[in-house]
Structure 1
Amino acid sequence: MATVNDRPIFFADTGGDGPALLLGHGYFLDHSTFSPQAEMLAPEQRLITWDARGHGQTPDDDASTSYTYWDQAKDALGLLDHLGIERAVVGGLSQGGFTALRIALLAPKRVAGLVLWDTEATPCDPVDKAAYGGMFAALREYGPVDDLIIPLSTQLLGESALRGELCARWRAAPALPLGPAAHCLLERDDVSNRLNEITCPTLLMWGEQDVSLPRDRMDLLSERLPNAGDVHVIHGATHTPTLTHPEQVNPLLQQFLRTLA
């Protein structure tokens, strides 16, 4: 646990002298989203993963205090400061990608490269906002009951056997991210018109069966980020390919990182 910007942030660090890679997880998940990458990269690459506000072992703010993904980008930059890391490859999945884009906009000289999975630069779509708002309201009222969390786990992980572990984690959690973290997600701003400012090399991946985030939102990143290639489709994956399909994700990630060495 680190104290960053006067708040606790939980992180995991493989350590080592290799180039640093900082990755942020998706909503309702935590730093373990990248466990398969940690096993693959160490010790060649130093991987730092962290729990965003309201997730995993990082507490959320008081319900009366709102924050944005810009604030969470400052959390991530503060974590790099805490670790004495001046420059890193930065990335994330879903909301971790929202944060990574803002890190690159806030501190471009500190970002050696960008890795993005199943994410977008645009605000929350009105249809998505209504659906997520309804789900959050139901979770607040009924808690992590099977009728709610089993479909949610399937949306995130597909038919992976890891769904049971994720549901168990939600049931055991002292609280789900349904306060300021939910407001942060639903009310995020639009940075799509600033993507041309992010000039570092960028790797894009997207789960072929992701119903949470349509392919066209990743294609927009490919079109507007000056040094992004085409979107790599992870076959059979839904919203969390890092966890469910590392056999496809890891070679792409390793090859990209080696081009930056």
Structure 2
Amino acid sequence: MPFAAINGQKLFYTDSGGEGKPVLVFSHGLLMDHSMFDPQVAALKDSYRCIAWDERGHGQTATPGTCAPFSYYDSADDLAALLAHLGVQQAVLVGMSQGGYLSLRCALTHPEVVRALVLIDTQAMPEDPALMPQHMAMVQRWVQSGMDDGMAATVESFILGNHWDGANEWKIKWKQVDAANLVQCFTTLGQRDDISQKIAQIQVPALVIHGSDDRAIAPERAKAMVQTLPQWQWVEIAGAGHAPNLTHPAPVNQAMTQFLSTLA
């Protein structure tokens, strides 16, 4: 399995390959991993080189029992370094939620590697202050007592919506999350800075996709972001929650395909 030793991390990634193809790099959301983009990789790999990776504290990159403090700027550095490791000069950054946070910061700090952005259910503002205390209270219960079925159902509803057929696979993964990684990843989430004014500096095209029923990030927060980005397209996925690329892949893939076709 491919790992890259980068910035003191052992980053896990997948790479569909394809010499000369335009490159897409997929960055997942909090509590998820690279596999959340399987529907997009399957649909796009014939035309694009698709790279998906596990971020710090997640998936096969996570080290059980420890997770050093990090910011999304560190994750942005990881992403740029991973592209360099793979010999990729420029890529379209596809980021969902947390993956969008680091992708936006990568576009600010490493603009030379970014061809365009696809931002899925993300925002430029800090975490909603009304939500963060609930998040941390849940984390403390999770660390102390483990994730029970009720908590798993709550997380499911926030990320995947209700009654999605593939939810059980993710609930199994969540119950196995290491406590140290869980705490640090939520701490990073809560401590991120407000870049809502800085993103006016981003000059590449951006496709912003958002689920109409997202409870984790209200659509209004994403709409505030697009009003600042210089070049943007907005696509709302009707009936979708926080992870429409998983639960509603067909309209997301269609929107991505159309957007990517416009890039020279």
- Does the pair score TM above 0.5? yes
Is the 8 Å Cα contact of residues 55 and 176 (structure 1) preserved in structure 2?
A: no
CA distance in 2, matches of 1:210, 1:63: 31
- SS, match of residue 203 in structure 1: strand
Q: Which of 232, 236, 254 is the matching residue for 2:235?
A: 232
Q: Which of 36, 41, 47 is the matching residue for 1:38?
A: 41
Q: Which residues of 2 match residues 92-111 of structure 1 at below 5 A? A: 92-111=95-114
Q: Does 1:185 align with 2:177?
A: no
- SS, match of residue 115 in structure 1: strand
- SS, match of residue 186 in structure 1: helix
Q: CA RMSD in A?
A: 1.6
Change beyond 3 A, Cα 1:8–1:196: same
Q: Does 1:133 align with 2:129?
A: no
> In the TM superposition, what is the alpha-carbon distance from 1:12 to its structure 2 partner?
1.1
- TM-score when normalising by structure 2: 0.94
- SS, match of residue 35 in structure 1: helix
Q: Does 1:214 align with 2:218?
A: yes
> In the TM superposition, what is the alpha-carbon distance from 1:171 to its structure 2 partner?
2.6
Change beyond 3 A, Cα 1:61–1:225: farther
User: Partner residue of 2:125?
Assistant: 122
Is the 8 Å Cα contact of residues 20 and 45 (structure 1) preserved in structure 2?
A: yes
User: Partner residue of 2:209?
Assistant: 205
> In the TM superposition, what is the alpha-carbon distance from 1:176 to its structure 2 partner?
7.2
Q: Which residues of 2 match residues 43-58 of structure 1 at below 5 A? A: 43-58=46-61
Is the 8 Å Cα contact of residues 96 and 122 (structure 2) preserved in structure 1?
A: yes
In structure 1, runs of 5+ residues without a counterpart are none
CA distance in 1, matches of 2:127, 2:174: 24
Change beyond 3 A, Cα 1:39–1:56: same
> In the TM superposition, what is the alpha-carbon distance from 1:154 to its structure 2 partner?
2.2
1:144-200: CA deviations, max 9, x gaps? 211111221122111211111111122344557423212111110111110110010
- SS, match of residue 118 in structure 2: strand
User: Partner residue of 2:199?
Assistant: 195
- SS, match of residue 217 in structure 2: coil
Q: What letter is aligned with 2:10?
A: P
- SS, match of residue 60 in structure 2: coil
Larger CA deviation: 211-220 vs 178-187? 178-187
- SS, match of residue 119 in structure 2: strand
Q: Does 1:12 align with 2:14?
A: yes
- SS, match of residue 256 in structure 1: helix
Q: What letter is aligned with 1:15?
A: G
Change beyond 3 A, Cα 1:16–1:119: same
Q: Which of 248, 251, 254 is the matching residue for 1:245?
A: 248
> In the TM superposition, what is the alpha-carbon distance from 1:41 to its structure 2 partner?
0.4
> In the TM superposition, what is the alpha-carbon distance from 1:62 to its structure 2 partner?
7.1
Larger CA deviation: 92-101 vs 220-229? 220-229
Instruction: Report the number of matched residues.
Output: 260
Change beyond 3 A, Cα 1:64–1:172: closer
Q: Which residues of 2 match residues 163-178 of structure 1 at below 5 A? A: 163-175=167-179, 177-178=181-182
CA distance in 2, matches of 1:80, 1:225: 24
Is the 8 Å Cα contact of residues 54 and 181 (structure 1) preserved in structure 2?
A: yes
User: Partner residue of 1:83?
Assistant: 86
1:44-66: CA deviations, max 9, x gaps? 10111111111111125975831
In structure 2, runs of 5+ residues without a counterpart are none
Is the 8 Å Cα contact of residues 211 and 236 (structure 2) preserved in structure 1?
A: yes
Q: Which of 221, 227, 233 is the matching residue for 1:223?
A: 227
Is the 8 Å Cα contact of residues 11 and 55 (structure 2) preserved in structure 1?
A: yes
Is the 8 Å Cα contact of residues 214 and 241 (structure 2) preserved in structure 1?
A: yes
Runs of 4+ in structure 1 off by over 6 angstroms are none
> In the TM superposition, what is the alpha-carbon distance from 1:234 to its structure 2 partner?
0.5
